[in-house]
Amino acid sequence: MTPTEIITADAIERNIDPNQILVSLRKHLEANVAVMLKKNDSVLVLKELEGHAMELHLFTEDAPLTLARSIKYFVDKIKASDIEAVYGKADNAEIIEMLRRLGIPVENSDRPEFNWMARV
């Protein structure tokens, strides 16, 4: 699947307008305030926050085992960068649990607009 197909399918499953997400994503990518990583049928969007922090958005059509491999790939890429912390708004507790099983120290966010964070 292409990134657009993955994002569209994931958004539809969450009852979110995929066009709104795609337009916003395009603007952020063109402004160089976001980057997108793809592995298997998962896309991770990283959007700049102040400091060396990033906001994360995961879009996936991967089966659970493949998703774990995709997340491991994303984690390795983040660890190889100068990012110090990542933040997210998880609406799926299974994703948080998967991160923990992969050795990511997920904790409650110190920013009110997010519900979790991890120091890299």
9-24 pLDDT, tens digit each: 999 999 999 999 999 9
Across 45-58, average pLDDT: 94
The predicted structure's pLDDT at residue 98? 82
Domain CATH code at residue 32: 3.40.630.30
Domain residues for 60?
3-119
On the question of pLDDT at 91 being above 80, the answer is no
CA distance readout (Å), 41 to 10, 23, 36, 49, 73: 10, 20, 13, 26, 12
* CB-count exposure of residue 79 (10 Å: 0-12, 13-18, 19+): exposed
- How far apart, in whole angstroms, are the C-alpha atoms of residue 44 and residue 47? 10
| Residues across the chain | 120
Number of compact structural domains in the chain: 1
Mean pLDDT across the stretch 57-67?
94
This prediction's pTM: 0.92
Short-list 91, 117, 69, CA closest to 11: 91
| DSSP structure class, residue 110 | S
pLDDT computed for residue 70 by the predictor? 96
